[in-house]
């Protein structure tokens, strides 16, 4: 190992200095120099010639081996998810970028907003670019052929957060049914019996898995499941905030809420505060994901760590392994969630019920 260091350092320093030296000596950008040396038609032919001449004059040696390695890999990685602005996906993306080395790759991102057509356009665009691979959380209703198209053209696909039953591709996600049961059991352990579930939808695998995890945990504790205690839909802070009115007017007077994710939980807590009740005292609230924000919320949020960083890191590793020709079996990799107990949950008290709005 040690004997390689001087060689490596010398090569990278030499290349760096020379590209920028050419650029500076001509008063143009290194981007233009780099394109010209790769004979890109984006630079005018006369400028290209001038740059090459200057490169020769300055003794710039074009590293052909590096260039051919670059040619076989575009260095472009696509990431397409429901909504990259959701911090849950943001945290997955940060881990992917960090694992794949931000400086060696160009990441192009896209939101599909669960439109199969938008997702398809993105995959086609990525194929046109010669993308190295795509990491995706498939849109609701994705036809297997749309993903197969990528695979068939040598662009491996890795799934995060959502699975597709029809395709045996590497899939990284948290164990949703287990995780939501952790949260439900935590509330049952605090003496709560009337526990609502807020947010999520049956249209995604995650939504179905979380609802069944909640239902099973209640049943195991001998608590009757009341479908009216489920308020489906919300997945944002605004959604959680708006659901507070519905939640607080439920005739069953729930004393606790298992929320779809941290965003819904924080929105719900804000709505509960607005109604004059204290989350964590009058009403216990659990989140899901353990976003960075959970620990600084007021009150700090009891939640389920869902391993976003692990999901991103492992998905990136799987992509690198595929590109290196690994023949490791594909399939599902479930990350085991963990409970993070903070201030938004507390023991059940009779008093809480008297405070309720009806």
Q: Which tokens go with 37?
A: 């040396």
Binders of a copy of itself among residues 254 to 293 (CB under 8 A) are 267, 269-271, 273-274, 292-293
Which residues have C-beta within 8 Å of that of residue 217, sequence separation ≥ 6?
180, 181, 184, 185, 188
Query: Which residue among 111, 204, 286, 303 contacts a copy of itself (CB under 8 A)?
Result: 111
What is 271-285 written as a DSSP string? HHHHTT--BTTTBEE
Which residues are CB-neighbours of 31 under 8 A, at least 6 positions away?
none
Return d(Cα 195, Cα 180) in angstroms, integer: 12
Q: Which two three-digit tokens encode residue 50?
A: 């001038």
Which residues, 6+ apart, have CB-to-CB distance to 316 below 8 Å? 95, 96, 99, 100, 135
113 binds a copy of itself (CB under 8 A): yes
Of 56-64, 126-134, 202-210, 308-316, which segment contacts a copy of itself by CB under 8 A? 126-134
Judge if the upstream peptide bond of residue 68 is cis by omega within 30 degrees of 0. Answer: no
For position 296 contacting a copy of itself by CB under 8 A, the verdict is yes
Exactly one of 57, 145, 225, 341 binds a copy of itself (CB under 8 A); that residue is 145
* 16 near a copy of itself, judged by CB under 8 A: no
Shortest separation between residue 189's beta carbon and a copy of itself, angstroms? 26
| Binds a copy of itself by CB under 8 A, chosen from 9, 14, 17, 29 | 29
- Dihedral sign for Cα atoms in the order 347, 351, 356, 358: positive
Give the residue, chosen from 15, 18, 50, 76, that forms a contact with a copy of itself under the rule CB under 8 A: 76
From 15, 50, 114, 121, residue interacting with a copy of itself (rule: CB under 8 A): 121
Residue labelled with tokens 């192009």: 108
For a copy of itself, which stretch binds (CB under 8 A), given 80-88, 167-175, 249-257, 281-289? 80-88
Name the maximum alpha-carbon separation found in the chain: 86
* By the rule CB under 8 A, 35 interacts with a copy of itself: yes
Residue number, 200 or 240, with CB nearest to a copy of itself: 240
Nearer to a copy of itself, 85 or 228 (CB): 85
CB atoms near residue 129 (< 10 Å): 14
Candidate residues 19, 109, 250, 309; the one interacting with a copy of itself per rule CB under 8 A: 109
Q: Which is nearer to a copy of itself, 181 or 243 (CB)?
A: 243
Query: What kind and span of H or E run contains 157?
Result: strand 157-160
Give the distance from CA 339 to its chain's centroid: 20
| Chain residues that interact with a copy of itself, rule: CB under 8 A | 28-32, 34-35, 42, 75-76, 84-85, 87, 90, 93-94, 97, 102-103, 106-111, 113, 115, 117-118, 120-125, 127-129, 143, 145-146, 148-149, 153, 237-238, 241, 267, 269-271, 273-274, 292-293, 296-298
């Amino acid at each position: 190992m040690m004997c390689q260091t001087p060689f490596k350092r010398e090569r990278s320093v030499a290349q760096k200095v020379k590209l920028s030296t050419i650029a500076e000596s001509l008063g143009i950008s290194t981007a233009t120099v780099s394109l010209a040396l790769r004979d890109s038609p984006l630079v005018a032919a006369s400028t290209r010639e001038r740059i090459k001449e200057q490169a020769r004059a300055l003794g710039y040696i074009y590293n052909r081996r590096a260039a051919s390695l670059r040619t076989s890999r575009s260095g472009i990685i696509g990431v397409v998810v429901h909504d990259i602005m959701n911090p849950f996906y943001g945290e997955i993306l940060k881990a992917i970028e960090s694992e794949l080395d931000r400086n060696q790759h160009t990441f192009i991102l896209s939101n599909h907003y669960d439109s199969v057509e938008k997702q398809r356009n993105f995959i086609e665009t990525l194929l046109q670019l010669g993308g190295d691979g795509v990491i995706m959380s498939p849109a609701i209703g994705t036809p297997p052929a749309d993903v197969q198209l990528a695979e068939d053209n040598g662009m491996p696909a890795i799934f995060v957060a959502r699975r597709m039953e029809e395709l045996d591709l590497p899939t990284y996600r948290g164990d949703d049914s287990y995780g939501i049961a952790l949260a439900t059991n935590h509330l049952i352990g605090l003496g709560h019996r009337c526990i609502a579930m807020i947010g999520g939808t049956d249209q995604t695998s995650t939504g179905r898995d979380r609802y069944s995890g909640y239902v099973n945990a209640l049943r195991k504790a001998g608590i009757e499941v009341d479908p009216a205690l489920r308020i489906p839909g919300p997945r944002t802070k605004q959604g959680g905030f708006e659901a507070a009115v519905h939640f607080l007017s439920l005739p069953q007077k729930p004393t606790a809420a298992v929320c779809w994710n941290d965003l819904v939980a924080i929105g719900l807590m804000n709505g509960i505060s607005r109604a004059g009740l204290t989350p964590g005292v009058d009403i216990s609230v659990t989140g899901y994901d353990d976003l960075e924000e959970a620990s600084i919320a007021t009150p700090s949020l009891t939640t389920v760590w869902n391993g976003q960083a692990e999901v991103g890191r492992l998905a990136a590793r799987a992509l690198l392994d595929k590109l290196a020709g690994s023949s490791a079996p594909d399939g599902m990799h479930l990350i085991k969630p963990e409970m993070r107990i903070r201030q938004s949950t507390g023991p059940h008290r009779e008093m809480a019920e008297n405070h309720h709005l009806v």
